[in-house]
Amino acid sequence: MSNFRFKALEIAQSRQAMPVAAPTERVGDFFGSYTFNNEVMRALLSPEAYLKVTEAISTNGQIDRGIADEVASAMKSWATSKGATHYTHWFQPLTGETAEKHDAFFDITLDGKAVEKFKGSALVQQEPDASSFPNGGLRNTFEARGYTGWDPSSPAFLMDNGAGGKTLCIPSVFISYTGEALDYKTPLLKALNALDKAATAVCQYFDRNITKVIPTLGPEQEYFVVDRALFYARPDLVLAGRTVFGHAPARGQQLEDHYFGSIPPRVNAFMVDFEFESMKLGMPVRTRHNEVAPGQFEVAPTFEEVNLAVDHNALLMDLMEKISEKHNLKVLFHEKPFAGVNGSGKHNNWSMGTNTGVNLLAPSTKPKESLRFLTFLVNVVKAVHDNADLLRATIASAGNEHRLGANEAPPAIVSVFLGESLTMALNDLETKSEVTVNKGDNVYYKLGLNRIPSLMRDNTDRNRTSPFAFTGNKFEFRAVGSSANSASTMTVLNAIVADQLNRFKTDLDARLAKGEKKELAIVDILKEYYANSKRILFEGNGYSDEWVEEAARRGLSNIKSSPDALGIFVKPESLALFERTGVMNHAEVESRYEIELEKYIKNVQIESRVMGDLAMNHVVSTALKYQNKLAETARNLVELGMTAEAEPIKDILREISTRVLVIKKGVEAMIESRKKANNVTDTGERAKLYATEVKDHFELIRYEVDKLEEVVDDEDWPLVKYRELLFVK
């Protein structure tokens, strides 16, 4: 078996960077060339159809059959002219992967004629075999049919099919025949719509020209890269996405030299390759750098409208997986593939833009705009404060559980960082006594709103330990897991902010009806909101033990276990919020809860099985063989009369025996815990057992295995070691 490790190492070490043909054209010449974008539509559609489609995109409206036929025909000729032979509705089921079902554009009739198969109806709707996707009880399998429906707000694109041809991918929603959402996109679109409505209504108090608010997202994606041969020599990476064993290398990230180091040539070639392909797909991929841990990197696109950004992130991850294989590498999106070095996140940078080109979370130099800025800022803070647990629920997963609350990532406590000057400005506002405004007074001046911009200008402080940080003109939600689909978090964030903005409007309208002056009424409400939610603000070190205690004193939640966090989804307040905002009905939320629990259980179950198998078949068996070698050596020494010299060897023998025994007992007990959990029918209870009784064995077994790794002869050790996985490039 150890041969396998050394063979893999030999292969990995002999590899060269794959040459990548750098694009010869300018970026502008190929950017988006694989997308059925606005420009293409304008060129290929009749003016009437073009207008209808763009209108439907901006108003989330319907597209009638006649127009759909025209669009389908244009899409088909565009796609076939670029080499596409098939089309598919591309969607995001709740498994967490993306899904496709390929159909040919043409059928051949019996007499050998090609007939067109791609009409408007096929563009608008397709029936995948839905029985293989999770539905959380929404549909019985005997009527396992849902359908996918075109989402015109995300442009169709071309993907290489791996065999020289291309497939036209049509971004779609996935819904059951009874109308319930079976995917990530459907509730997201509803939440974005709710936010648009609520935020536009609030903008109207400040600027009548604002008729649309577009939430924006720029997800920074962290990932690890390992050699492909080494990856396949680690069954735990293959099956569970993370290493369940592995002794920390002598040199980890303590030197912090990786961050500023140069990117290894093979990884660089991979990056150049996927960035080029991303650009063709219209994805504005931008930065390229090393992360803190060895073998860890980050890619960040320029922000886009949220729905598009979510699609693009899912597509980017698909693309990276495919292209990494081409470079004999493997990209790892797991939140914690290696113990002892940093995990990976997906920082969700989020803001709101208007049709007039204003970023609602950007401080302004104009006092009037400062009030608008503060209005949105404080409402976001209050929304996060009031719904912190629900936000926490959106980032709960088996993978992220290894990261949240560990000493190297945002803790499971949701807090908000605003920075010193902004906090000061808000404190000023809060303590400002009743302001009286006389005729001729400048109300903004009296409120102190003329000072905000100067306070903000030098606000460059950054807090990297805050899970939800204001970073100058946007919020950055950092606790999202690297493998997650951002839609879940974005659905909730936009829904809770929409809900809060609706409440603000109600509060303000009530005061205006009583004849209060608008600006004063707004400030009054913001003062009250601020006072009620400022306990969520935290500027200090979010990774410290003191913060955990302080947060408890403040009454903030610290939900460590995923099943507990997921339970928040189905609390009456959460169900009411989703219903109020029109994002999801009760059945939809409950099915999602079921699906997330099932995913959690399956993931922990797989980890646990891999751990048991590797411990017994790889580690214990290797340790026993090594013991044999040692025993023989000791015996030889004793025979030669070197009894004293045999003693240290006997010590090692004893140590190995003890550890093997602990491992064996641990694995047996873990199997018993799994059996017990599997006999529980309630999904929530079963998930809790996996989170506690099953997982409780992990650390102990791992500890002993990693100790054995230190003792057993390197020649015999069967599993590729951390130093090899992380440093061989």
3-state secondary structure of 417: strand
Can residue 58 be called a binding residue for ligand ADP (CB under 6 A)? Answer: no
What, of ligand ADP, Mg ion, none, does residue 659 touch, CB below 5 to 8 Å by kind? none
Judged by beta carbon, residue 301 or residue 419, the one nearer ligand ADP is 301
Judged by beta carbon, residue 478 or residue 534, the one nearer Mg ion is 478
Judged by beta carbon, residue 216 or residue 603, the one nearer ligand ADP is 216
Least Cβ distance, residue 532 to ligand ADP (angstroms): 27
Angstrom distances, CA of residue 236 to CA of 48, 232, 484: 56, 9, 20
Question: 696-699: which pairs have CB atoms within 8 A and are 24 or more residues apart?
Answer: 697/608, 697/666, 697/667, 697/669, 697/670, 697/673, 698/244, 698/607, 698/608, 698/611
- Strand 285-290 and strand 296-301: the pairing is antiparallel
- Strand 468-470 and strand 329-332: the pairing is unpaired
Alpha-carbon span 55 to 60, nearest angstrom: 8
Judged by beta carbon, residue 465 or residue 562, the one nearer Mg ion is 465
Judged by beta carbon, residue 347 or residue 382, the one nearer Mg ion is 347
Q: Could you write out the three-class secondary structure of 313-365?
A: HHHHHHHHHHHHHHCCEEEECCCCCCCCCCCCEEEEEEEEEECCCCECCCCCC
Judged by beta carbon, residue 370 or residue 486, the one nearer Mg ion is 486
Can residue 373 be called a binding residue for ligand ADP (CB under 6 A)? Answer: no
Q: Say how far residue 555 (Cα) sits from the centre of its chain.
A: 27
Taking CB positions, which residue lies at the least distance from ligand ADP? 218
Judged by beta carbon, residue 397 or residue 471, the one nearer ligand ADP is 471
Can residue 236 be called a binding residue for ligand ADP (CB under 6 A)? Answer: no
Alpha-carbon span 482 to 205, nearest angstrom: 39
Residue 131: how many other CB atoms lie within 10 Å: 13
Assess contact for 294 and 341: CB atoms under 8 A: yes
Alpha-carbon span 181 to 177, nearest angstrom: 10
What, of ligand ADP, Mg ion, none, does residue 217 touch, CB below 5 to 8 Å by kind? ligand ADP
Can residue 474 be called a binding residue for ligand ADP (CB under 6 A)? Answer: yes
Least Cβ distance, residue 477 to ligand ADP (angstroms): 11
Angstrom distances, CA of residue 509 to CA of 92, 386, 502, 525: 40, 21, 11, 11
Can residue 474 be called a binding residue for Mg ion (CB under 5 A)? Answer: no
Judged by beta carbon, residue 319 or residue 521, the one nearer ligand ADP is 319
Judged by beta carbon, residue 171 or residue 467, the one nearer Mg ion is 467
Judged by beta carbon, residue 402 or residue 478, the one nearer Mg ion is 478
Least Cβ distance, residue 55 to ligand ADP (angstroms): 25
Q: What's the token pair of residue 77?
A: 């000729």
Can residue 534 be called a binding residue for ligand ADP (CB under 6 A)? Answer: no
Q: Which of 220, 86, 269, 223 is nearest to 165 (CA)?
A: 86
Return the residues of window 216-275 that contact Mg ion according to CB under 5 A: 220
Least Cβ distance, residue 363 to Mg ion (angstroms): 19
Q: Which of 192, 91, 174, 153 is nearest to 582 (CA)?
A: 192
Residue 80 CB-half CA count within 13 A: 13
- Draw the binding track, 417-446, toward ligand ADP (x: CB under 6 A; -: no contact): ------------------------------
Can residue 216 be called a binding residue for ligand ADP (CB under 6 A)? Answer: yes
Out of 350, 578, 593, 690, the only residue in the binding site for ligand ADP (CB under 6 A) is 350
Interacting span for ligand ADP (CB under 6 A) from 89-97, 422-430, 467-475, 630-638: 467-475
Least Cβ distance, residue 473 to ligand ADP (angstroms): 6
- Draw the binding track, 252-291, toward ligand ADP (x: CB under 6 A; -: no contact): ----------------------------------------
Owner of token pair 């390992």: 226
Judged by beta carbon, residue 296 or residue 500, the one nearer Mg ion is 296
Judged by beta carbon, residue 245 or residue 350, the one nearer ligand ADP is 350
Helix boundaries (H) for 15-131:
27-30, 38-44, 47-59, 65-81, 120-124
Alpha-carbon span 620 to 221, nearest angstrom: 37
Angstrom distances, CA of residue 155 to CA of 104, 230, 389, 464, 601: 20, 38, 34, 35, 35
Can residue 359 be called a binding residue for ligand ADP (CB under 6 A)? Answer: yes
Alpha-carbon span 342 to 296, nearest angstrom: 9
Q: What's the token pair of residue 340?
A: 């002892």
Least Cβ distance, residue 1 to Mg ion (angstroms): 41
Interacting span for ligand ADP (CB under 6 A) from 114-122, 243-251, 295-303, 559-567: 295-303
Interacting span for ligand ADP (CB under 6 A) from 103-111, 348-356, 378-386, 393-401: 348-356
Interacting span for ligand ADP (CB under 6 A) from 139-147, 187-195, 213-221, 389-397: 213-221
What, of Mg ion, ligand ADP, none, does residue 149 touch, CB below 5 to 8 Å by kind? none
Can residue 300 be called a binding residue for ligand ADP (CB under 6 A)? Answer: yes
Judged by beta carbon, residue 220 or residue 596, the one nearer Mg ion is 220
- Draw the binding track, 329-358, toward Mg ion (x: CB under 5 A; -: no contact): ------------------x-----------
Judged by beta carbon, residue 9 or residue 493, the one nearer ligand ADP is 493
User: Which residues are registered as beta bridge partners of 172?
Assistant: 150
Interacting span for ligand ADP (CB under 6 A) from 134-142, 150-158, 313-321, 471-479: 471-479
Least Cβ distance, residue 298 to Mg ion (angstroms): 8
Judged by beta carbon, residue 221 or residue 397, the one nearer Mg ion is 221
Can residue 502 be called a binding residue for ligand ADP (CB under 6 A)? Answer: no
Alpha-carbon span 697 to 699, nearest angstrom: 6
Assess contact for 402 and 395: CB atoms under 8 A: no
Measure CA of the first residue to CA of the last residue in the chain; give whole Å: 23
Angle at 85 between CA 64 and CA 153, to 5 degrees: 35
Alpha-carbon span 529 to 288, nearest angstrom: 40
Alpha-carbon span 164 to 466, nearest angstrom: 46
Count of residues interacting with ligand ADP (CB under 6 A)? 15
Out of 243, 354, 471, 561, the only residue in the binding site for ligand ADP (CB under 6 A) is 471
Instruction: Count the residues in the chain.
Output: 729
What, of ligand ADP, Mg ion, none, does residue 247 touch, CB below 5 to 8 Å by kind? none
Out of 156, 189, 217, 396, the only residue in the binding site for ligand ADP (CB under 6 A) is 217
Q: What DSSP letter does each residue of 628-666 carry, written as one string?
A: HHHHHHHHHHHHTT-HHHHHHHHHHHHHHHHHHHHHHHH
Assess contact for 99 and 169: CB atoms under 8 A: no
Least Cβ distance, residue 303 to ligand ADP (angstroms): 3
What, of Mg ion, ligand ADP, none, does residue 190 touch, CB below 5 to 8 Å by kind? none
Can residue 31 be called a binding residue for ligand ADP (CB under 6 A)? Answer: no
Can residue 349 be called a binding residue for ligand ADP (CB under 6 A)? Answer: yes
Q: Which is it for the CA torsion 285, 286, 288, 292, positive or negative?
A: negative
Can residue 218 be called a binding residue for ligand ADP (CB under 6 A)? Answer: yes
Angstrom distances, CA of residue 451 to CA of 49, 360, 393, 425, 679: 50, 18, 38, 8, 63
Judged by beta carbon, residue 65 or residue 464, the one nearer ligand ADP is 464
Identity of the residue numbered 466: S
Q: What's the token pair of residue 439?
A: 């005729």
What, of ligand ADP, Mg ion, none, does residue 351 touch, CB below 5 to 8 Å by kind? ligand ADP
What, of ligand ADP, Mg ion, none, does residue 423 touch, CB below 5 to 8 Å by kind? none
Q: Which residues bind ligand ADP (CB under 6 A)?
A: 216-218, 220, 300-303, 349-351, 359, 471, 473-474
Q: Which residues bind Mg ion (CB under 5 A)?
A: 220, 347
